[in-house]
Amino acid sequence: MKRIYLDHIAGTPLAPGVVEAMLPYFGDDYGNPQSLHAEGQAAASAVAEAREEVARLINASAAEIIFTSSGTEANNLALKGLALANRAKGNHLVFSAVEHLSVLNAAKSLEKSGFTTTLVPVGREALVDPAEVEKAIRKETVLVSVMLANSEVGTVEPVADIAKAAKSKGVLVHTDAVAAVGNIPVDIRALGVDALSLAGDQFYGPKGGAALFVRKGVRIFPQIDGGIQEGGRRGGTENVPAIVGLGKAAQSAAAAMAERQARMAGLRDKLIDGLLGSVDHVILSGSRDKRLPHQASFFVRFVEGEAMLLSLDMNGFAASSGSACTSKALKASHVHLAMGFDHATAQGSLVFGLLDTTTAEDIEALVAAFPPVIDRLRKMSPLYTEFLKEKTP
């Protein structure tokens, strides 16, 4: 059976040329970039080139890029590093209620060392209102962090407006752009942010290659203490192959951006219209127009997400879900609850992330396979039986 992989959120395959670019640094070019000898300097120039590519993708300068091991590490470094470096100014932080757990839990950790936080609520489409962010800012606020796009529901947030509001009050702004960079055009100057997290495994680069942009002149405390790597802002020997792979993926993303974005959006709309049109009581989650081009997510009422994933998997499709049953902690997604959906609806979460190898035929196959999968599960569901009873008294 042909497998159709629609779980971009969990990570992408590698773009053509990425493995080839990385391979020498597992082999002959094994030098440490910090070494002065020829072997070391070969690695150093590969890292420098990758830094240029990543910077170019987001319109930053190379010195503003700190390589990290993951988006999670970049978010931790941003939150803790910026909050602690600016503690003299204040101890209050502002986030949206739909941030990734690496932001929310880093914030919780900062609370233990004396910081206070305000979570800005979101509307039904997970959109953050810049006016709400502005209201949450106090005299002692040092940092606002709002994600550029939410991978679970696809919504793209008005970060430029949020940054403008925060900057007018002299507050630093970080954005978790892990789901966005490489998939939509991102320009840190246009956004006006001071820090931005990105990860290569969301745009056809390798796992282990990620970065934090920190605007020149902004102070940040390292969260991995060590040597002078990354300008003393992140210790540890550089993961040269992953960094090279990230640089190559950044180069490909920049070259393919306009074409990729338009093609993805077309397929995404085909999928959204197809699923909404083929099964009743399916709700699109997130914003319809302010949306990542490769993301389509839904709530399918009266059925549970994990059961859908297993059924789709048996039919050859890989997707994901934010349902409580699919999480190891058996908790409903904080994103769905913050959007105001009840637990029963949130349990029916189904998330698709398209790849640039996804075809129109793949989408058609999914739209055809979907109704019988849902029909089978609904026939088993006491919630659906109850619903039908109420409808026909």
Partner 1 sequence: MIYTEKVMDHFANPRNVGTLPDADGVGQVGNPVCGDMMTFYIKVKDGKLDDVKFQTFGCGAAIAVSSMVSEMAMKKTLEEAMAITNEKVAEELGGLPKNKMHCSNLGADALHLAIKNYRDRAAGGTEEAAFGEEHEHEPEEEGEAAEASGKSVKCPYCDGPLEGLEALSECGRCRIHLVECPSCGLYTRAGEPACTHCGAEIKAEPES
Residue numbers annotated as active site:
325
Nearer to partner 1, 206 or 322 (CB): 322
Nearer to partner 1, 67 or 341 (CB): 341
Nearer to partner 1, 88 or 329 (CB): 329
Task: Work out how close the CB of 79 gets to partner 1 at its nearest, in angstroms, rounded to a whole number.
Answer: 16
Nearer to partner 1, 229 or 347 (CB): 347
Nearer to partner 1, 75 or 229 (CB): 75
Task: Work out how close the CB of 77 gets to partner 1 at its nearest, in angstroms, rounded to a whole number.
Answer: 23
Task: Work out how close the CB of 199 gets to partner 1 at its nearest, in angstroms, rounded to a whole number.
Answer: 25
Task: Work out how close the CB of 315 gets to partner 1 at its nearest, in angstroms, rounded to a whole number.
Answer: 11
3-state secondary structure the chain: CCCEECEHHHCCCCCCCHHHHHHHHCCCCCCCCCCCCHHHHHHHHHHHHHHHHHHHHCCCCHHHEEEECCHHHHHHHHHHHHHHHCCCCCCEEEEECCCCHHHHHHHHHHHHCCCEEEEECCCCCCCCCHHHHHHHCCCCEEEEECCCECCCCCEECCHHHHHHHHHCCCCEEEEECCCCECCECCCHHHHCCCEEEEEHHHCCCCCCCEEEEECCCCCCCCCCCCCCHHHHCCCCCCCHHHHHHHHHHHHHHHHHHHHHHHHHHHHHHHHHHHHHHHCCCEEECCCCCCECCCEEEEEECCCCHHHHHHHHHHCCEECECCCHHHCCCCCCCHHHHHCCCCHHHHCCEEEEECCCCCCHHHHHHHHHHHHHHHHHHHHHCHHHHHHHHHHCC
Contact set with partner 1 (CB under 8 A): 97, 117-121, 136, 302-307, 310, 314, 323-326, 328-332, 334, 337-338, 340, 342-344, 347, 379-385
Task: Work out how close the CB of 362 gets to partner 1 at its nearest, in angstroms, rounded to a whole number.
Answer: 23
